[in-house]
Amino acid sequence: MVKIWKEWLKAAKDDLILLEEIKNNPSLTHLSAFHSQQAIEKSLKALLEYNNQEVPKIHKIQTLVDKTNLDFSKYDELIQLLDALYIEARYPGEFGLLPSGKPSLKEAYEFFNFAKEVFAKVCFLLDIKENEIMQ
């Protein structure tokens, strides 16, 4: 039987693998921001699914964090930025852009590190090792 929470984690891990590949490329910071947002969203949805909570069809990280009761308050500013960049329409000119434009390399690193932290926290809470996710 397919465990939906594990599929969410696999999808989040895929985003993290991609981020690892592009994290040092200043031309791809907008994609780093977008995939960081995606990895965080998917990790949080995995936790909700695991706990048999409703997984809302939304993309707002803050709403998902609130539903999980996790404390990521030290990342409030990053969460606001990531929530601002999610573009429903995903037009090429807007894809992964912050309200102030293309993220800096420093911002991209911050987003990536936050995504890794959320993913690791969820894996810890679900008592699953990262290498077990891709099996």
Distance CA 19, CA 23 (A): 5
Tokens 């690193």 identify what position? 109
CA angle 119, 121, 126 (to 5 degrees): 95
pTM: 0.89
Parts of the chain with a pLDDT under 50: 88-89
Residue 100 is predicted with a pLDDT of: 66
| Domain map (residue ranges) of the chain | 4-133
CATH of 4-133, one of 3.30.70.3280, 3.30.1330.120, 3.40.50.300, 1.20.120.330: 1.20.120.330
110 sits in which H/E element: helix 105-125
Residue 130 is predicted with a pLDDT of: 80
Structure tokens at 67: 């539903």
State the sign of the Cα–Cα–Cα–Cα dihedral 105, 58, 17, 79. Answer: positive
Q: DSSP states of 4-36 as a string?
A: HHHHHHHHHHHHHHHHHHHTT-GGGHHHHHHHH
pLDDT one-digit tens code per residue, 59-83: 899 999 999 989 999 999 999 888 8
